[in-house]
Chains A and B, each alone.
Chain A
Amino acid sequence: MEEKTISRGGISLGDIPVWSWLVAALLLLAFFMIMSSSGGLLAPYIGQLAGATDYLHEFAHDGRHLLGVPCH
């Protein structure tokens, strides 16, 4: 019984299509944008946009505290 459930296959990592890796990367990026206080850290790379993410961070402020990520 146990043998059977173990040998059940499942897709291998190689079978996962490229698009789903891309989607995963995008979701991960969005996750970090909202969850980390990255405004300052990203400024050298995205310039003006960093100001917009700061704005978002202030809006999401209480959520970030309650979800447990460092904020202040």
Chain B
Amino acid sequence: MESIIEVKSLTKRYKEKRAVDDLSFDVYKGEILGLLGPNGSGKSTTMNCILSLLNFDRGNIKIYGKEMTPNAYDIKRKIGVVFQDVAVFDELTVYDNIDYFCGLYITDKKMKKKYVDDAMKLVGIEEYKKYFPKQLSGGLLRRLNIACGIAHKPEIIFLDEPTVAVDPQSRNNILEGIETLRKNGATIVYTTHYMEEVEILCDRVIILDKGKIIASGTTDELKELAKTKEKIRVETKELGNKEIHEIKKLSCVEEVLYKDNILEVMYTDENNNLENIIGYLKSNNIKYSRIFSERPTLNDVFLELTGKELRD
């Protein structure tokens, strides 16, 4: 796979605090790479270092095989950035904002007009084209912010938590838009602390904590890291200590919890667990109302690796 961005031993300190600590990773052509981490884990700092906005203490960053510097205009031309904070002109309409920022990259008037229209369509704000930012809801404003960053059809796109504090409708819209961008050939670095988004969207995920990579891989690979491969929950009122003890002895069972009439069984393997537990309940004549099976989430992985929840 072709590496488009190469980050090597990136270290960035704010005064004494290490915000990013010896980070190395590659971004491959055409993928959506998720940078997943809790607040303050160094996602934005990493992004701003890659973009040559921030000085860093150690490491080097190459994009398209060339060192990234503040005046690497040929590289910058191919990049689109959506920053965490909304950055638009309050004095300009939706259309004019996109037109302005697109104009920093695209000079051809006809092409620019088409690109601006495409960007509005992509995030679904055509109807609001004459609105001013102040008249938009939070979700729509975020969508405008995204449109401003990607209107010039960049090859590489950085998105820093584009869905923070948006309504579900806008969120779906945004995620679909990003999916479309990738289909059109863009390589995307997507920063978030929502693991669900990463699971839906990203081909590869890097999990950050305190400026360090604690795990990386596809979501499936990451889930492999979790000791618990399956979690089965059963609603039942009829369990005693004896039964719980017996369930613990079933094959591949890692842990059993029984609280508030809910039985939770954790498995270290994911084969036939549902069959086994149902078989046991039947043969012991234990009645149950509902039964669920869950695969581990990235949150579980994070919890196991760091001992804390991804979201606080």
A binds B: no
